[in-house]
Amino acid sequence: MERRGRSRTEASAPPVRPVKGQLLELRVRRGHRPPAERIVRTPRCYLLTRGDGRVVLGATQEEQGFDTAITADGVYRLLEAAWEVIPDVGELELVRARAGLRPGTPDNAPAVGAGELTGLVWATGHHRNGVMLAPTTARAVADLIGTGTLAPSFAAFDPRRFGEVRV
């Protein structure tokens, strides 16, 4: 619903900041075995072996604004963290490094729910868990659009919990 005295494009938004994450793409070298057959998660990294021999090693978590530069420190920290649990990671070929930005809220929990403007639905701020929470969020947003109500399990993620942030 539009509030009186505001333009049609002015609304409050959940406060979302960019959180930088660097990751490495590695490859199993010919004649070598993959370092792991399952996803390996530690407090400092995750390692995922794909069926084609690629290995994803991620990811840093850095408060660097919109900076997406790959840093030697980021690469080092990822390789060190992986090596601590799987020393064979040092035998993998380094294919590339990349960095992306994740949307994070002040409490690092998603902001999912109706916005101020009619038809506006927020689904943002999923931080490190965007891919994992995408199916559940999509169902909740579809239900909200279709029925006008959000599942009670999403009450804690109401975008209005942060107060007003003008955009």
What confidence score (pLDDT) does residue 25 get? 98
Which ranges of the chain would DSSP assign to H, the alpha helix?
72-85, 130-147
Cβ-Cβ contacts under 8 Å for 107 (sequence gap 6 or more)? none
Does 9 score more than 60 pLDDT? no
Q: Which of 132, 124, 92 is nearest to 108 (CA)?
A: 124
The CA distance from 12 to 134, in Å, is 23
3-state secondary structure 80-123: HHHHHHCHHHHHCEEEEEEEEEEEECCCCCCEEEECCCCCCEEE
Query: Lowest-pLDDT range, 41-45, 55-59, 109-113, 116-120?
Result: 116-120
CA distances from 31 to 27, 117, 147, 166 (A): 12, 58, 55, 57
Q: Which of 106, 120, 118, 119 is nearest to 157 (CA)?
A: 106
Place of tokens 């930005």: 101
Q: What is the pLDDT of residues 122-163, one digit of tens each?
A: 999 999 888 889 999 999 999 999 999 999 999 999 999 988
What confidence score (pLDDT) does residue 167 get? 55
CA distances from 72 to 23, 24, 104, 121 (A): 12, 12, 24, 39
Domain ranges of the chain: 17-104, 111-162
Q: What is the pLDDT of residues 51-95, one digit of tens each?
A: 899 999 999 999 999 999 999 999 999 999 999 999 999 999 999
Does 28 score more than 90 pLDDT? yes
Whole-prediction pTM: 0.82
Does 42 score more than 70 pLDDT? yes
Segment 37-43 shows an average pLDDT of 92
What confidence score (pLDDT) does residue 4 get? 44
What confidence score (pLDDT) does residue 163 get? 82
Q: How confident is the model at residue 10 (pLDDT cuts 50, 70, 90)?
A: low
**Domain 17-104 CATH (choose: 3.30.9.10, 3.30.70.2340, 3.40.50.300, 3.30.390.10):** 3.30.9.10
Does 46 score more than 80 pLDDT? yes
Residue 90 one-letter amino acid = G
